[in-house]
Amino acid sequence: MKTLTTTEDLQSFCEAAAQHPYVTVDTEFLRERTYYSKLCLIQLAFSGDGENDAVLVDPLAEGISLEPLYELFRNENVVKVFHAARQDLEIFWVDANVFPKPLFDTQVAAMVCGFGEQAGYETLVRKIVKQGLDKTSRFTDWSRRPLSEAQKTYALADVTHLRKIYEFLAAELDKSGRAHWVTEELQVLTDPATYDIRPEDAWKRVKTRTNSGKFLAVVRELAAFRESYAQTNNVPRNRVFKDDALVELASTKPRNPGELGGSRLLLREARKGAIAEGILEAVSKGVACPAEKQPKADRSKEKLQVNPALADLLRVLLKAKTEAEGVAAKLIAPSADLDAIAAGLRDVPALSGWRREVFGADALRLCEGKIGLAAKGQDVKVVEL
C-alpha cells in the first residue's frame, strides 16, 4: 500500500481521482489532549481495485500541503463519500474552511435504507461487503511514526470497503427515490454554524437545576471564559475545569484567590495563574450583570401540556410508518418530538421536509381527528374517519 508524503504525490492522486465519479474518504485523528482534532492520517480511494486506487496520506509529513485534496473537495463532479462524516468535516472546516461537495454519508444513507439507527461501519461491511474487519488497531496513537503495517492495513480498509457500501446504498436510494432524503439530512453537516462554537453560547450546554438569572449570569461568564481559554490554548475544556466545578463556582461566587482556593471540585492547576484570574474576573462580571441582561434557561418543553393518549398514538403511528418504509424511527422523530407534537407544537422537524412525507402529514391528521389506527393481524393500518 502506498503512503503519500509529498504535495506532488498527493496532487497526482487527486488528479487521477478527479476522473472518477466518486472518492471515498476517512481520517484518523487524536483529540484527547487538544481542543481541536489533530489530523494524523487521511485515507482515500476511488473506484476500481488497482494497487494505486487507494492510498494513505500523511498530513504530518514535513512540507506537505493538503491543498490538492481541498481542490478535489471543491470539485462538484466527484462525490465525496464518508461514513459518519461529522468529525471529519469539522477537521477540514477548521483547517481550511472547506466542505467536500457533493457529500455522501453512508451512515445517514444506511438509516434511510433500513439498516437501523446509527449503523456502524463494521455492520455495513459485514452485511453489504460480506466480510469482517480486523479492529485490533482501532485504539492506537495515530500520531506516532512510523506506522505499522497492521495500522496501515486497518486504516486503508476504512475506504476500500466503503466503495462497495457506497455503490450499494446509492443504487438503493435511486431505486426507492429517497436520494433527496439523504441530501436534506446532510445539509446540516455542510453548514458552518454546525461547527461554530461561540463562547458566549457555551453556557447552554451546562446542566443546572435553577432558573435564577443571577446564577445563570455567572454560569454564562464562566462557560465563556472556559471556552475561550480552551480554544486559544488548544486544550480540552474539561482540562480547564469541569462542569461540576463550574456549577460550584457559580454557587459560591469566589471573590479572591483565598475563596477560590476553598473550591472542592476545582483542579489544582486552575487555582493559580491565568485560569484563576479568568475565573475571578468571570465571576465578578456575572455578579455585576444587570437583571435585564441576565440569561434565561429554556424551560419551555418542561412546561408542555402533553396529551399522553395522543403521544402514545403517535408512537404507534411512527412504528407503523417506519416498519412499512424501512427507516430508522429516531431518524424521523425522537420521543421528545412526539411529545411536543402531542402538546400542540408544530415547529418540529418531523413535520417538515421528507419526514412530513413519511410521517408528519399523517401525524397532523391524527392530531386533528381525521384518521384513526386499527390493528390488522401483525400490522397497524391508518383508517380514514
pLDDT for position 49: 80
pLDDT for position 140: 87
Q: Using an 8 Å Cβ cutoff, are 214 and 236 in contact?
A: no
Same domain, 380 and 276: no
Domain span holding position 364: 301-384
Phi, psi of 188 (to 5 degrees): -70, -30
Same domain, 273 and 358: no
Asked which of 148, 168, 195 is the last residue of a domain, the reply is 195
All residues at 6 or more sequence positions from 53 whose CB lies less than 8 Å from its CB, including other chains: 45, 46, 47
Same domain, 103 and 224: no
Same domain, 243 and 280: yes
Look up cell 488497531; give the residue: 137
All residues at 6 or more sequence positions from 269 whose CB lies less than 8 Å from its CB, including other chains: 275
Look up cell 485490533; give the residue: 136
Q: Give residue 296's Cα distance to chain centre.
A: 26
Same domain, 245 and 371: no
Please report which helix (H) or strand (E) contains residue 7, including its range.
Answer: helix 7-17
Same domain, 281 and 308: no
Per-residue pLDDT of the chain (385 residues; tens, 9 = 90+): 799 999 999 999 999 999 999 999 999 999 999 999 999 999 999 998 877 899 999 999 999 999 999 999 999 999 999 999 999 999 999 999 999 999 999 999 999 999 987 789 999 999 999 998 877 777 889 999 999 999 999 999 999 999 999 999 999 999 999 999 999 999 999 999 999 989 999 999 999 988 899 999 999 999 999 999 999 999 999 999 999 999 999 999 999 999 999 999 999 999 999 999 999 999 999 999 999 999 987 665 556 789 999 999 999 999 999 988 989 888 899 999 999 999 999 999 999 999 999 999 999 999 999 999 998 888 899 999 9
Same domain, 272 and 316: no
Rounded Cα distance between 40 and 309, Å, is 52
Neighbours of 244 (CB within 10 A): 13
Same domain, 259 and 342: no
Asked which of 262, 293, 324 is the last residue of a domain, the reply is 293
Rounded Cα distance between 114 and 350, Å, is 18
pLDDT for position 315: 96
Same domain, 92 and 184: yes
The total domain count for the chain is: 3
Same domain, 148 and 269: no
What's the CATH number where 67 sits? 3.30.420.10
Same domain, 155 and 182: yes
What's the CATH number where 310 sits? 1.10.150
Neighbours of 181 (CB within 10 A): 23
pLDDT for position 299: 61
Q: What is the pairing mode between strands 2-4 and 54-57? A: parallel
pLDDT for position 303: 65
Asked which of 152, 172, 195 is the last residue of a domain, the reply is 195
Rounded Cα distance between 191 and 188, Å, is 5
